[in-house]
Amino acid sequence: MSGAAPRVRVFPTTAALAQEAVRSLTSWAQQAVGDHGRFALALSGGKTPATLYELLAAAGPGALPYDRIEVFWSDERAVPPDHRESNYGLAWSAWLSRVPLEARRLHRIRGEGDPETVAADYEIELRHTLGDPPHLDLVLLGVGRDGHTASLFPHDPALRADRLVVAVSAPVSPRRRVTFTLRLINAARHGLVLVTGRHKAAAVRRALEGPPSPASPASWLRGPHVVWLLDKTAAAGLRGRSIAARGAEGKRAVSD
C-alpha cells in the first residue's frame, strides 16, 4: 500500500463513517470471494471499530460470506482474550460471537502467551492460511493521537522490521504487544483506516500532509488501495492538500 497518496473521505458523524465502512468491507468481501474464493481480513484494535462491528452483527448472517472469511488481527495486547483491553475481546463480543463464523476461521493472536513466541507462531499461521507471502484482502486500522497504527509506535525499530509480525514494547499500557509490521500491512489489497475525534486531528494531519516519517507510523499508510474514513472532527486539521472536498457525507475526496 505504499507509494501514491491514499483516498480520504470525510463524514459528518461517526455513524455515517461506520455505515460507509460496512459498505466498503462488504463490497471488498464480495470481490475477494468472487476473485479467489476467500476474504481474509485483519481487524484493528482500539475502540473506534466498535460501531462498525455492531452494524455488521446487526446486518445478520447473510450480510457477509461467513463460510469464506478468515479473520485475523493486526495487533493484540499481551492480555487474555477476556481482558477488557483485548482487541479480540471487543470484536468477539460486539460482532463475531453473533454471526455464523466457524472457530477455525478465527485466527486470534494469543495475547496470553509469550509475545516473541506468539509473534513467530502468528507469522507461520498467516503463511499457512494465506500462502507465502501472505496477502490479506483487507487490513482495518486505527490511528492513535501520537500517530501510531496497529501497535507500531513512533520511532520504534519495528517500523523497519523485515518480518511480518513482531513483538513490541509500547509506550502506553498494555505495554507488551504483538503487531503486524508495515511490510505485511502494505502488502494487503485494501487498507481501511478509521479515525474519529478532535483529539486525533493533529495526528491525521501529520500522517496525511507530512512526509512519511518514523515520527508518524500512520504516515506510511499510503497508496491507491488505502482509504481513510474520517469524521469531521478528525479531519479538522487538514489543510485541503490531502482532500479535494470536506464535510459532505461521504463526498469522495481524492488526494492530490
**CB closer to ligand 6PG out of 76 and 123:** 76
Q: With beta carbons less than 8 A apart as the criterion, state whether 14 and 232 touch.
A: no
144, with CB counted inside 10 A (0-12, 13-18, 19+), is buried
Say how far apart CA 252 and CA 250 lie, in whole Å: 6
Q: Work out how close the CB of 125 gets to ligand 6PG at its nearest, in angstroms, rounded to a whole number.
A: 19
**CA-based torsion, 230, 231, 236, 242: positive or negative:** positive
**CA-based torsion, 167, 170, 174, 179: positive or negative:** negative
Q: Work out how close the CB of 85 gets to ligand 6PG at its nearest, in angstroms, rounded to a whole number.
A: 8
Q: Work out how close the CB of 143 gets to ligand 6PG at its nearest, in angstroms, rounded to a whole number.
A: 6
Q: Work out how close the CB of 65 gets to ligand 6PG at its nearest, in angstroms, rounded to a whole number.
A: 25
**CB closer to ligand 6PG out of 134 and 147:** 147
Q: How far apart are the first and last CA of the chain?
A: 16
Could you give the residue ranges of the DSSP H alpha helices within 95-242? Answer: 115-130, 182-185, 201-209
Q: With beta carbons less than 8 A apart as the criterion, state whether 40 and 136 touch.
A: yes
Q: Work out how close the CB of 83 gets to ligand 6PG at its nearest, in angstroms, rounded to a whole number.
A: 12
Say how far apart CA 232 and CA 248 lie, in whole Å: 9
| CA R_g for the chain | 17
**CB closer to ligand 6PG out of 33 and 57:** 57
Give helix 50-58 / helix 14-36 axis angle, nearest 10°: 60
Binding site for ligand 6PG (CB under 6 A): 44-48, 75, 87, 142-144, 148-151
**CB closer to ligand 6PG out of 46 and 115:** 46
**CB closer to ligand 6PG out of 148 and 206:** 148
**CB closer to ligand 6PG out of 33 and 106:** 106
State the cell numbers at 197: 475525534
Q: Work out how close the CB of 34 gets to ligand 6PG at its nearest, in angstroms, rounded to a whole number.
A: 29
Q: Work out how close the CB of 167 gets to ligand 6PG at its nearest, in angstroms, rounded to a whole number.
A: 13
**CB closer to ligand 6PG out of 7 and 148:** 148
